[in-house]
Each structure stands twice: as C-alpha cells, then as structure tokens.
Amino acid sequence: MADTLCNASAQGNLPKVLFLLQSGADVNGFSSHNMTALQVVKLGNDALVRVLLEAGSDPNVRDPFCGLTVTHDAAREGFIDSVRVLVNHGADLNIVDNKGNLPLHLAAREGHLNVVQLLIGLTANPQTPNGEGLTAGQLAQLHGKVSTAQFIEDYLSARV
C-alpha cells in the first residue's frame, strides 16, 4: 500500500491520499523506491503536505540518495507555502544534505527571496558554510541572485 500512497502523493491526488490514509495506509511507510509519501509529494500542493503531516508524516526523513529532506526540496523549488507548512509541523531546518547544504543554502542559491526571508531567522546559524565552504549569501552572490544576496547581507549586518 506504500507504493499506492506514494503514487497518489506524487500526483497530488488529495482525495486518493485521504482515502488511503483512512483505509490504514502507513503515512511513514516506505515505497519500493525507499521513499515516503511526504518525500515524493507534489511540491506546491501545501494542502496535501498539511494532510500528510497532520497524519503523522515525519518531515525530517532524508532521501537515501542525496540526504535531502522534503524541506530541502521545497526550499530549492521556492514553494513558500509548503515550506511554511513544513516549518509549522516541526521540520528541522538545520539538517544538511550530503553536500552540507541547509534548506537555506538551496533557497538562496536559486534566489527564492521569500523562502530565504522565512528560513533565515529560523536557521540556527545562517552563516553556516556548506560542504564547499560557501554560505547561503555567497551562493546567492555566486549564482547572480543579487536581491537575495543583498537581503542576506543586510540581515546579517543587522544582527551584529
């Protein structure tokens, strides 16, 4: 049943996910690809993300390939509402992926200013370098995300 739940979650099929959960599907069950329904959820569907989390899905499970959590994925893709739901349901923003990236690093690298604005104050140390020795601000600058880099610089300057 985990594969069916994961497929419905990946497709963003909220009615089917609800039916499967009501039928006893394990919200934290692993599919044949070693992933949970939340890990493969159709990002941007914050209602579905909320349903899975309220059913007890663990937002901090890391994928077996890159060590990413669903928060890393949502931050990288700029899905602010999904990130907000994850944060409100206990997502750990200080988990690093296999390359040492926090969700903040990925949001900054992609220039998702609104996500960076949400994450920066909730991240234990927003100046943490990733595995390449780069901070979120440096990643934003390196990738030409000028407004994001400026926001991070201003935020960090105001904290001193």
User: What are the tens digits of pLDDT across the range 98-156?
Assistant: 999 999 999 999 999 999 999 999 999 999 999 999 999 999 999 999 999 999 999 99
- Per-residue pLDDT tens digits for 19-64: 999 999 999 999 999 999 999 999 889 999 999 999 999 999 999 8
- How many structural domains compose the chain? 2
CATH (domain of 128) = 1.25.40.20
**Residues 99 and 147 both lie in one domain:** yes
**Residues 158 and 118 both lie in one domain:** yes
Q: Is the CB of residue 97 less than 8 Å from the CB of residue 67?
A: yes
Q: Which of 94, 118, 98 is nearest to 108 (CA)?
A: 118
Residue after which a domain boundary falls, among 22, 37, 58: 58
Q: Whole domain around residue 110: which residue ranges?
A: 60-160
**Residues 95 and 153 both lie in one domain:** yes
Query: With bands split at pLDDT 50, 70 and 90, how would you rate the model's confidence at 159?
Result: confident
Residue after which a domain boundary falls, among 37, 58, 79: 58
Concatenating the DSSP letter of every residue in 55-97 gives: TT--TTPPPTTT---HHHHHHHHT-HHHHHHHHHTT--TT---
**Residues 29 and 73 both lie in one domain:** no
**Residues 31 and 83 both lie in one domain:** no
Q: What is the pTM of this model?
A: 0.95
